[in-house]
Amino acid sequence: MSVIFIFIDGVGLGKESPENPFFNNRYESFEILTNGSFNSRAEPKLEKDLLFKPIDANLGIEGLPQSGTGQTTLFTGRNAAKEIGKHFGPFPHTGIKRFLKKESVFHAVLERDKRPYFLNAYPPIFFEHAKKRNRWSCTTLMTKSSGIKLNTIEDVLNETALTAEIVQNVWREKLGIDIPKITPTDAAKRLLNVVPEHDLILYEYYLTDKAGHSQKNEDAQRVLKPLDEFLLYIINKMKSSDTLVITSDHGNLEDLSTKTHTRNKVPLFVLGNHVHQFEKTESLVDVKDGIISFI
């Protein structure tokens, strides 16, 4: 039994309007998980093996939610925004890094003598910049601090890791790195292939947030189509004994009328035998405990 945790950056539940890419186009995976339209009018649902809930990402703090505090809260169960009295991002604020370094979901899994794994891989230029500035994202800081190696080109070539854009095109086309192009289905198969070796597998997809900031519907479609195919394969082919958890850190992509993040609620999807562990989840603060409760 394993948990597949897919974190999708910057996706909230928006209005039924032309500015919402989920209203303009159909994405089957999201429709399956909500049993209909993916928007602010979607009703929460709880079935034997499927839960969908809109959850709070504002964390009791005024202003627009940001990735640094939102992700720290999501991965540690600590209200990071309340801790420093503001939303902060995209990187974690100095005042909340200690949560990622000592209290993350990865640390909790390791304390149970279980095996966490971060599926994302990073190119050499990422490590050069991160080390030079000592600036790490929430996911990479959490991974490093828990003693887990960050994946590199070698892991991508060994088919045990994925690049951030799922299909591996950016490394090849913009960085000149010789890796093969794959389909979203290939990527989903790769994820499922590593699941049996780990108890928690995390994959981060941040291109949704970038597309939201661009305010271009074509950018939204470009990043949502591969994500949809990727998720659809996982939903249909994952083992019944495993649990899939999908959520986000704040809204953004669902409203292309603004370049900023939104205060909309974000979706929480849980598919598998342990959906009732998340029945009382109300905000980002509660997600970590939901995962840890059955690992």
Query: Per-residue pLDDT tens for 208-228?
Result: 999 999 999 999 999 999 999
The pLDDT-based confidence of 134 (bands split at 50, 70, 90) is confident
Q: Please say if the pLDDT value at position 197 is more than 80.
A: yes
Q: Please say if the pLDDT value at position 35 is more than 80.
A: no
Of 34-43, 111-120, 133-142, give the lowest mean pLDDT range. Answer: 34-43
How are strands ordered across the β-sheet holding 116-118?
Answer: 45-46, 50-55, 266-271, 243-247, 3-8, 200-205, 116-118
What pLDDT is stored for residue 115 in this prediction? 98
Per-residue pLDDT reduced to its tens digit, 137-164: 999 999 999 999 999 999 999 999 999 9
Q: Please say if the pLDDT value at position 130 is more than 90.
A: no
CA dihedral 107, 110, 116, 118 (to 10 degrees): 40
Distances (CA, A) of 48 to 199, 270, 277: 22, 11, 12
Q: Which residue has the tokens 């909500």?
A: 34
3-292 — its CATH code?
A: 3.40.720.10
| pLDDT, the chain, mean | 96
User: What are the backbone angles phi and psi of residue 239, rounded to the nearest 5°?
Assistant: -70, 145
Percent of the chain with pLDDT over 70: 100
Taking residues 127-141, report their average pLDDT: 91
Between CA 129 and CA 106 the distance in angstroms is 24
Taking residues 110-133, report their average pLDDT: 94
The pLDDT-based confidence of 36 (bands split at 50, 70, 90) is confident
The vertex-129 CA angle with 258 and 188, nearest 5°, equals 65
281 touches 287 (CB < 8 A): yes
Q: Please say if the pLDDT value at position 244 is more than 80.
A: yes
Total length of the chain: 295
Q: Please say if the pLDDT value at position 191 is more than 90.
A: yes
What pLDDT is stored for residue 131 in this prediction? 83
How many angstroms separate the most distant Cα atoms in the chain?
49
